[in-house]
Amino acid sequence: MKLSNYVSGRWTEGRGTGTALHDPVLGTEIARASTDGVDFAAALGHARGTGGPGLRALGYAERAALLTRIADVLSANRAAYFEIALVNSGSPESDASIDIDGAIFTLKYYARAGAALGGARYLKDGELVRLAKDEAFQSLHISQPLRGAAILINAFNFPAWGLWEKAAPALLSGVPVFAKPATATAWLTQRMVEDVVKAGVLPEGALSIVCGSAGDLLDHVTGADVVSFTGSAETALRIRGHAAVLRHSTRVNVEADSLNAALLGPEAKPGTPEFDLLVREVVREMTVKAGQKCTAIRRILVPAAQRSAVEEAIRAKLAKTVVGNPRNKDVRMGPLVSKAQQQAAAEGIAALKREASVVYDGGPDFKPLDADAAIAAFVPSTLLGCSDAPGARAVHDIEVFGPVATVVPYASAEQAFAIARLGQGSLVASVFSADAQFLAQAAVELAESHGRVLAVNAAIGSMHTGHGNVMPQCLHGGPGRAGGGEELGGLRALAFYHRRSAIQGPLDCLNTVAAQAVELRY
């Protein structure tokens, strides 16, 4: 099977043999992907010239209704998506649900939020501002949908949610989507787009997809386009430095590497709810999707006096986690998505071991259930301990994209915050403490260097959405090495797909302009 590309309003198969996609458990080839022969200039031109006008002819509420229809199509085909996730990503049902159901939930959220914007076609930003003594001359800021395409380049770990969490605000804004999923797990993304196209939900040109190499895609970007990228910092650097991106000042959003931290409060001891909540969250973040989440916990900051207790509690839970072929219902953690990712994880673990000791790594007899370890892409849960956090380098610099985390002791609250910041900018930090003052202090101290901070005590222990769970109502992104970007955050996400402009003129003109706009309410 070769995955077809949908560009310029038609399905086209790339030339040549393409790149193989594999089952990460069985090692068998399941599909091939190729973009050889795709005319990227024409494809982007079709999206801008046909898809854009078709979307902009609708108001926000009408475009929100399109998102509801997309969610309905995906819900109707949900069972097929779970099977693809099992075969292509090695995902147990619970892991696949995070991706697939998360995508559907996000679409429905933006459909509801967009419906409240009514029939307006552009946004009003603030009130009129007088520019002269006479009120006749004033100014008004408005934001209009960009007239280019939203080029969405995504990572391999969330082939469903990764597309729709970006596409939902883009389509709601009136900007056509041009999707380029990571090749290794592109089958699920491609199948979802195929189902939406077959259902005739969107105007022609509003949704395109290519599966395989990006080729010369970026050579054809303009100042009206946006590029939203999720992946490695190395690739992000190439995108930002691309000649066409620089020449046209193309807007780029990046979500990249992240050394996310979980912090246990100074007062938390074994037997307290907050201690147990941290242990549970760490184990969940290490094992869900085999740790292949950009938001997963990589560093566990604990009071020095509690280091041994924390390590033992996490080790005990990891030892009970069944790792193996997700076709077996007893399995709770599957493989990494490919042998290449397995090799990268092994190299990263080896680097971390040079300054951290092994607490748990499955032991010399580790064997995945119902799978051949020589063929499959498994990495056992690996918990490390670092004694010299301030002096460490790799622990704060190397993100192993797998089930790997390091316990890091701290001597004081101030040192804990400083250690967290050694991650050089992260997507999320979580804090577990019964001390309300410490929770508040930690939230403020960590907010500057983290895109999101989750503060947890016993009162919300059973209801919080989780360290690694990205909710569409809240910002997703982070400073520094995390990419410096912002996604989601409710209707704040629409700003990336709009261009703001100041209109100066007579009062009656501005009132007419304002009457046709809608102001966002966050």
Q: Domain for residue 135, yes or no?
A: yes
Nearest C-alpha neighbor of 389 from the set 397, 377, 379, 381: 397
Q: Domain for residue 400, yes or no?
A: yes
Other Cβ atoms closer than 10 A to 516: 12
* pLDDT at residue 293, as a whole number: 97
Query: Beta strand 498-506 with 137-145: parallel, antiparallel or unpaired?
Result: antiparallel
Is residue 235 domain-shared with residue 274, that is, in the same domain?
no
Is residue 74 domain-shared with residue 93, that is, in the same domain?
yes
Is residue 25 domain-shared with residue 87, that is, in the same domain?
yes
The structural domain count of the chain equals: 2
Is residue 13 domain-shared with residue 92, that is, in the same domain?
yes
Is residue 142 domain-shared with residue 278, that is, in the same domain?
no
Is residue 55 domain-shared with residue 171, that is, in the same domain?
yes
Q: Domain for residue 306, yes or no?
A: yes
SS (H, E, C) 269-331: CCCCHHHHHHHHHHHHHHHHHHHCCCCCCCEEEEEHHHHHHHHHHHHHHHHCCCEECCCCCCC
Is residue 90 domain-shared with residue 224, that is, in the same domain?
yes
Question: Cα separation of 244 and 189, whole Å?
Answer: 27
Q: Domain for residue 208, yes or no?
A: yes
Is residue 215 domain-shared with residue 106, that is, in the same domain?
yes
* Structural domain boundaries enclosing 21: 2-257+485-519
Question: Cα separation of 386 and 401, whole Å?
Answer: 18
Is residue 346 domain-shared with residue 285, that is, in the same domain?
yes
Contact 398/291 with Cβ under 8 angstroms? Answer: no
CATH number at residue 505: 3.40.605.10
Is residue 248 domain-shared with residue 112, that is, in the same domain?
yes
State the pTM of this model: 0.96
Give the model confidence (pLDDT) of 40-97 as tens digits. 999 999 999 999 999 999 999 999 999 999 999 999 999 999 999 999 999 999 999 9
Residue ranges of the chain with per-residue pLDDT less than 70: none
* pLDDT at residue 522, as a whole number: 81
* pLDDT at residue 521, as a whole number: 85
Question: Cα separation of 145 and 131, whole Å?
Answer: 26
* pLDDT at residue 363, as a whole number: 84
Is residue 423 domain-shared with residue 445, that is, in the same domain?
yes
CATH number at residue 269: 3.40.309.10
Q: Domain for residue 70, yes or no?
A: yes
Q: Domain for residue 209, yes or no?
A: yes
Q: Percent of the chain scored above 90 by pLDDT?
A: 98
Is residue 379 domain-shared with residue 507, that is, in the same domain?
no
CA pseudo-torsion sign 407, 412, 413, 415: negative
Q: Give φ, ψ of 519 to 5 degrees.
A: -95, 130
Q: Domain for residue 480, yes or no?
A: no
Q: Domain for residue 353, yes or no?
A: yes
Own/partner pairs, 459-465, CB within 8 angstroms, 24+ separation:
461/273, 461/274, 461/277
* pLDDT at residue 365, as a whole number: 86
* Nearest-10 crossing angle of helices 161-173, 186-198: 40
Active site amino acids: 255, 294
Which residue type sits at 432?
F
